[in-house]
Amino acid sequence: MENQDFSTTILVDQSPQEVFNAVNNVRAWWSATTKGNTVNLHDEFMVDFGSHWWALRIIETVPDQKVGWQVSGSYMPWNEDQYEWTGTTVNFEISRSGTQTKLRFIHSGLVPQFSCFQGCSKGWAGYINISLKNLITTGIGTPDFPY
């Protein structure tokens, strides 16, 4: 059976180190009000949009290659399962692709069977394909934008 986890990939001209540093700068591309540290192994942080939030822990970090987060808590009051993200993982895989750097984003556990799949996939697509990509390529992301 084909893997149904949400994933998206971007290609940029910047180095793997620049991509890695941008991924770890969560406040610059996802939410400016992120609480906690977002760089080192075992760091815990919260992305809080007021009415909904996600708590994450860094479970893997390989400089210029990979970042992995475990969703340790979540609250989405509009969703059928308000805690649906809890226990899922978010991975950023960084590699060279010819002269470019490839960033593959995978939210393992965010599958079509989730009630938030359509809306959450749209949000991730915006934050990765627009905000994070712009942060990498121009130095300016669009955190807190309602994608």
Q: Which residue has the higher pLDDT, 3 or 15?
A: 15
Sheet holding 35-36, edge to edge: 6-12, 100-108, 89-97, 66-75, 53-62, 44-48, 35-36
Q: Would you say 109 and 87 are in contact if contact means Cβ atoms under 8 Å apart?
A: yes
pLDDT for res 24 = 98
Model-level pTM?
Answer: 0.96
Q: Would you say 44 and 35 are in contact if contact means Cβ atoms under 8 Å apart?
A: no
pLDDT tens digits, one per residue of 65-115: 999 999 999 999 999 999 999 999 999 999 999 999 999 999 999 999 999
pLDDT tens digits, one per residue of 13-36: 999 999 999 999 999 999 999 999
SS3 label, residue 11: strand
**Residue 1 scores a pLDDT above 60:** no
pLDDT for res 2 = 66
Query: Rounded distance, CA 135 to CA 139, Å?
Result: 4
pLDDT for res 3 = 81
Confidence at 116, pLDDT banded by 50, 70, 90: very high
Residues 6+ apart with CB under 8 A from 145: 126, 127, 130, 131
Q: Would you say 36 and 42 are in contact if contact means Cβ atoms under 8 Å apart?
A: no
Overall average pLDDT of the 41-53 stretch: 96
Write down all domains in the chain, each with its CATH number in brackets.
6-138 (3.30.530.20)
